[in-house]
Amino acid sequence: MTSHSRDYHARSIDFGSLKKPEPLQFKMTDFRRDLQIRSKREQHARKERLRALSEAKHLSKNAVTIDTSRGRSNIEVLRLCIKDLAFREYPFGRRDNITCDIHWHACNFDENPEVYNGAVNKFPGMGDICSKMSLFRSLDTMRELFPNEYDFYPHTWYLPAQYHEFAADVRKMHEKRVKPKPTFIVKPDTGSQGDGIYLIRDINEYNPNNSKSHVVQEYMSNVYLINNYKFDLRVYVVLKSLEPLQIYICKEGLARFSTVQYETPTKGNIHETFMHLTNYSLNKRSATFNRSEREDDGSKRTLTSVLRRIGINGHDTDKVWKNIEKCVCKTVIAILPELKVEYQATIPPNKPGPRCFQILGFDILLLDNLKPILLEVNSSPSLSIDGEVETSPGVFEYMTCALDEMVKRPLVRDSLLLMSPLNKLKSGFMSKRRKRKRKKGGHSNGSGGPEPLQHQRTHILIIKADESDEEKREVDVTQQMSELNNELDFTRFDKDEDEFLDSHTEDENLNDDEKFMKILEKLSKENCLKQLYPAVYDEAFEHLRILERVANLFISFLGVRGSLRIGPTGFRTFARKCRLSRRGITNAAVDIMYIDMQRRWDHMNPDRTSGLCFQGFLDSCLEIARRKFPGPSKIEMLETLVDFCENSLNHQDDDGKIPNLPKLHFRRLGLAYRPSGFQVYRKSTDCMTEETVQDLYSAESRSTHNSSDEIESFLRQRRKNAYQPTLMRYVSRVSLVQSPE
Ligand code: ADP
């Protein structure tokens, strides 16, 4: 109400009568009406919310739910997969207190750190860990320890930090007159899609852009060509979990071709982007880009078609693929320690949090001898399935690209299946079976067509409030999804199930559970994902996982929760608790080493946060191992150091002191009833409780042979003891020997 109208009403009040003044009455009515409307709206909203909540509760038992509110460019392929799998989509997230089973983020984990349950398709920190500088640093560390195993990526320098080293190396190569004359490729650390990449042949051609760090790599000029064109492979990998480590590889991928015929780099052609770079995003702008939709033709093809072609040329493609698999596993093992550090900082083990998984895109080049060379790991590979399509000569439209769909749809679908809770998949299967049985028994809706909408409508929660844009959008989506759901009976997943059921319905011996397991088995055989680790390479690469133990040490001394850097106090505590002074490392030496390492690893700290990063800590461990734990190789020195640290930590409590309770008890026991048949080394009793010692004693007294094996196996069986984990660790090292008496 304007002030003018208020004045008018004030003037119209009849002050003679003291009955309810009109303007006031009007105001009250207005206010009451407002109140009434608001409370009705609130009641309605509450009712709707409750209804939605109970519906959602009921639904979550039957269908795998997926929150796609942050799916952005992935949304198209996601919707197709959700349709394939008959999952339930929440395009705006859930508004009740129930978390979706799967949360799909287009970019990184941090997009929604408030997820405490279910699965998220990103690992915390993966983007940074896969940046060029960080990735090749991790690989370099592994190359230092395992030079023969980590030879599948180009020699890399980190600029500006290693400018002088790079200059010296280039000079040496020139002096040696290496043939052909070496070429280098300069890439911005956080760049993508070929942005800012250029080739150089001399150090003077490097353009130091002060605001950016670069990696410079030796340019691999001897590459395998098809029809004289250079290409690289996009291999998709799914990291299902870190603990235990589970790596899957997608059997299909993409090959991206350059659009100008390849020539070895010379001064005259190093600027030809379309000849030396194979990025799709760059080459699609080339006049010679071939948009063929066939999988074995054009500038973008399927990976398997390229492998077939290599096979036709007389090469062993199984061997090529195996080498690619190995390269993938070794790369994941190299970034694993840092991933674990990030993971525990974001989702500490004792706090609720989601399970993470991630689809990664590995870019791999094949040399002329078909050796795979890793170029980079994409933490968010493009999953979009649309692109420019030439509908008529010279006319381009943005449409779904059949090739992309062929590769990415099964990848996303099987990744979703991999992360879906089994019980929900099962209950979904059961309810479909029941429906099918009902239909067969003549209880169908009679029309023979799809079931009425109310039985299979998509449950998107609508909370009616004001007519906001969001509500309108929700309704739209609901309609779309209902239409989509009408098609559900024709999906691949359903068809598979039907086919399978047809061939097994006669088999009365199989119960529902067994039938479901068979279906899963069948689906997993058709799965485009193959488990690499642990299924294939567990034993072969177990020895490479030493750095995870260093990461565990780092994590134990991080101090502040959520921190990714160890401070000077944490570093000192590490040295003290691991009893490094026993190996002659003084407190002063520890402090000097900390400052030195912090300076050395400063270039990996763009935010100028205080503290030492994991790579710096690892470098310190390598330095300590080299100085104080001499051995025939770097890896052996490091292993001895880690063993030493772990042993020291296992024998002390939180204050760094040896716990005296078990020791005292043992002394008492030892004096009173010294076991006659064997003796336990005092050091190894440090972490024993009275109970364990008594067990040990009674085991000995019952046993006639008193062999150390017997006692060890007896101890292993004692699972009740609270000290069991510590005990188990030391039992593997303990020396129980026959006493000479
Ligand atoms: P971006 O993340 O910007 O795509 P990449 O590292 O994938 O950067 O490099 C882009 C392209 O440059 C690759 O697809 C490949 O064709 C070419 N390339 C990159 N590194 C090398 C190298 N060391 N030797 C030969 N070609 C390379």
Taking only the tens place, the pLDDT of each residue in 672-730 is 233 333 333 333 434 444 455 445 545 544 544 445 555 555 555 543 333 333 343 33
Q: Say how far apart CA 100 and CA 81 lie, in whole Å.
A: 16
Q: Which residue has the tokens 């998220």?
A: 120
**DSSP string for residues in 460-516:** ------S--HHHHHHHHHHHHHHHHHHTGGGSHHHHHHHHHHHHHTT-TT--HHHHH
pLDDT for 263 equals 96
pTM of the entire predicted model: 0.74
Q: Which atom of ligand 1 is nearest to the CA of 277?
A: 16
Rounded to 10 degrees, what is the CA torsion of 153, 308, 529, 108?
50
Q: Which residue's C-alpha comes closest to atom 18 of ligand 1?
A: 277
pLDDT for 319 equals 97
pLDDT for 502 equals 53
Ligand 1 contact, 70 CB (< 6 A) = no
Identify the bridge partners of residue 365 per DSSP, sorted by sequence position. 232, 373
Residues of the chain falling short of pLDDT 50: 1-26, 56, 60, 443-496, 500, 504-506, 656-690, 693-694, 697, 700-701, 703-706, 718-741
Phi/psi region, residue 397 (left: phi>0; alpha: psi -120 to 50; beta: rest), is: beta
**DSSP string for residues in 557-610:** T--STT--SB-HHHHHHHHHHTTGGGGT--HHHHHHHHHHHHHHTGGG-TT--S
Contact 49, 95 (CB under 8 A): yes
Distance 277 CA to ligand 1 centre (A): 6
Ligand 1 contact, 363 CB (< 6 A) = yes
pLDDT for 321 equals 98
Ligand 1 contact, 380 CB (< 6 A) = no
Q: Which residue's C-alpha comes closest to atom 27 of ligand 1?
A: 219
Ligand 1 contact, 283 CB (< 6 A) = no
Distance 629 CA to ligand 1 centre (A): 40
Ligand 1 contact, 131 CB (< 6 A) = no
Distance 310 CA to ligand 1 centre (A): 21
CB atoms within 10 A of CB 402: 13
Distance 258 CA to ligand 1 centre (A): 11
Contact 249, 532 (CB under 8 A): yes
What DSSP designation does 73 have? G
pLDDT for 729 equals 37
Ligand 1 contact, 221 CB (< 6 A) = no
Distance 356 CA to ligand 1 centre (A): 29
Q: Say how far apart CA 706 and CA 341 lie, in whole Å.
A: 44
Q: Which atom of ligand 1 is nearest to the CA of 221?
A: 25
Please report which helix (H) or strand (E) contains residue 303, including its range: helix 303-312
pLDDT for 49 equals 55
Ligand 1 contact, 21 CB (< 6 A) = no
**DSSP string for residues in 364-390:** EEEBTT--EEEEEEESS-----EEEEE
